Copies of this chain bind each other. A is one copy, B any other.
Amino acid sequence: MPILVMKFGGTSVADLDRIRNAAEKVRAEVERGYNVIVIVSAMSGKTNELVGWVEGTSPLFDAREYDAVVSSGENVTAGLMALTLQEMDIPARSWQGWQVPVKTSSAHSSARIKEIPRAHIDQKFDEGMRVAVVAGFQGISSEGRITTLGRGGSDTTAVAFAAAFTAERCDIYTDVDGVYTTDPRITSKARKLDKIAFEEMLELASLGAKVLQTRSVELAMRYKVRLRVLSSFEPNTETSGTLVCDEEEIMESNVVSGVAHSRDEAKMTLVSVADRPGIAAAIFGPLADAGVNVDMIVQNISDDGRTDVTFSCPTDQVLRAERAVTEAKERGEINFLKLLSDNAVAKVSVVGIGMRSHAGVAAKMFKSLRDENINIKVISTSEIKISVLIERKYMELAVQALHDAFELEGNS
């Protein structure tokens, strides 16, 4: 029987009624003839509760214990979903990450999936089971300890299962009905996209559009997993949701497809770094080792043999980043005068495959921000996106201005 992967996010399984609603969607696919692998997140709010407790024990907590605690939320939902399906007379059972086992690296709290052996679940499908419910977001290291994949990791779990089981499709059920030109909570002019290219989705995901986790889109692109984002709170129709697909499937690309934002950014500057070959590696090596997700990097032109190096990272990694560079300084690997941290910045970006063939997008973006008197702190560009770091309080204003400037509302 063909296999379908269905992933339900936290709001889609927030209570028993919603789990039942999600189970109905699973039932519909089982009745269409699929064997289904359901990937579940923790019930909405539960992961935050668990993270809050962990953070309450220590500011610099052991990531292995963090993973052991935080992964429990998904285990609860997996069991409840299996029970709900059983109550509908659908043969189902739950798997926790270590039971499959979902083999990952040992990078706790941001582990990468290395292998998903099919044997156990395939055997149960052969025995007549129709639905395998798997706890998302988690796996097991070669040392036998529980790992997690980082926030939003259940999307990655879903795509990895879809790839491992060569599923016909991977449906990501969430609380929005698709991917929008920008966050509808920021402007009511935001419009749902029927299709979006992997590359665009990748930029949007990494830029903070919280619909899909970046790594899940990367994985989907690499393994050609057909990915659909849709709402668990609306009846499914032919055109439900947004299809994330190859560029070729989209008739005419927009110059700009969307405006993304990311609120919890921090900007850190190492002031007056001794400039020499290899200095970037000396700075960013220890940061990577400390598990800091460095995003934008800017190095000012050096004139006197010293330079300022600025980078951004999520606000909750600032402490870790400060410690990593301070220790590198103590070890004599790098040398800087002082370390400045700015926790009150946000990132706003415009994304679109059409940018490749259209000049003037950057100029239009900068003019639009200037017209609103918004100061740009850092700029970073890729082939299909332009990002700026600005003061956090201007974030919504910037998104609205850019959405208007690129006429995304009517651009259907």
Assess whether B75 is in contact with A58, with CB atoms less than 8 Å apart: no
A236 adjacent to chain B (CB < 8 Å): no
Assess whether B53 is in contact with A65, with CB atoms less than 8 Å apart: no
Assess whether A87 is in contact with B144, with CB atoms less than 8 Å apart: no
Q: How many residues of A contact B (CB 8 A)?
A: 35
Give the complex CA separation of A76 and B75 in angstroms: 11
Chain B residues with Cβ below 8 Å from A50 are: 76
Question: Given A53-B16, A75-B72, A65–B82 Cβ distance below 8 Å?
Answer: yes
Assess whether B64 is in contact with A93, with CB atoms less than 8 Å apart: yes
Give the complex CA separation of A57 and B16 in angstroms: 7
User: Considering only CB atoms, which chain B residue lies closest to A101 in the complex?
Assistant: B144
Q: Mark A75-119, 1 if CB is under 8 A from B, else 0.
A: 110111011101100000110101100000000000000000000
Give the complex CA separation of A62 and B58 in angstroms: 38
A346 adjacent to chain B (CB < 8 Å): no
Closest beta carbon of chain B to A127's beta carbon, Å: 13
Q: Please pick, from B16, B58, B83, the residue contacting A83 in the complex, using a CB distance under 8 A.
A: B58
* Interface of chain A residues 134 through 150 with chain B (CB within 8 A): 144-146
Question: Given A62-B86, A99-B144, A144-B99, A54–B68 Cβ distance below 8 Å?
Answer: no
A180 adjacent to chain B (CB < 8 Å): no
Assess whether B57 is in contact with A84, with CB atoms less than 8 Å apart: yes
Assess whether A57 is in contact with B69, with CB atoms less than 8 Å apart: no
Chain B residues with Cβ below 8 Å from A73 are: 72
A223 adjacent to chain B (CB < 8 Å): no
The copy count of this chain in the complex is: 2
Closest beta carbon of chain B to A14's beta carbon, Å: 12
Assess whether B83 is in contact with A76, with CB atoms less than 8 Å apart: no
Assess whether A69 is in contact with B58, with CB atoms less than 8 Å apart: no
Assess whether B98 is in contact with A83, with CB atoms less than 8 Å apart: no
User: Considering only CB atoms, which chain B residue lies closest to A60 in the complex?
Assistant: B87
Assess whether B66 is in contact with A79, with CB atoms less than 8 Å apart: yes
Chain B residues with Cβ below 8 Å from A54 are: 79-80, 83
Q: Please pick, from B83, B98, B146, the residue contacting A65 in the complex, using a CB distance under 8 A.
A: B83
Q: Please pick, from B69, B72, B83, the residue contacting A62 in the complex, using a CB distance under 8 A.
A: B83
A235 adjacent to chain B (CB < 8 Å): no
Known interface pairs A65-B82, A72-B73; 15 further A-B residue pairs with C-beta atoms within 8 A, sorted by A's residue number:
A16-B57, A53-B76, A57-B80, A57-B83, A58-B86, A62-B93, A64-B93, A65-B83, A65-B86, A68-B94, A69-B79, A72-B72, A72-B75, A72-B76, A75-B75
List 14 A-B residue pairs with CB atoms under 8 Å apart, sorted by A's residue number.
Answer: A53-B80, A54-B79, A54-B80, A54-B83, A58-B84, A61-B87, A62-B93, A65-B94, A66-B79, A68-B94, A69-B80, A72-B73, A72-B76, A98-B98
Binding site for B on A (CB under 8 A): 16, 19, 50, 53-54, 56-58, 61-62, 64-66, 68-69, 72-73, 75-76, 78-80, 82-84, 86-87, 93-94, 96, 98-99, 144-146
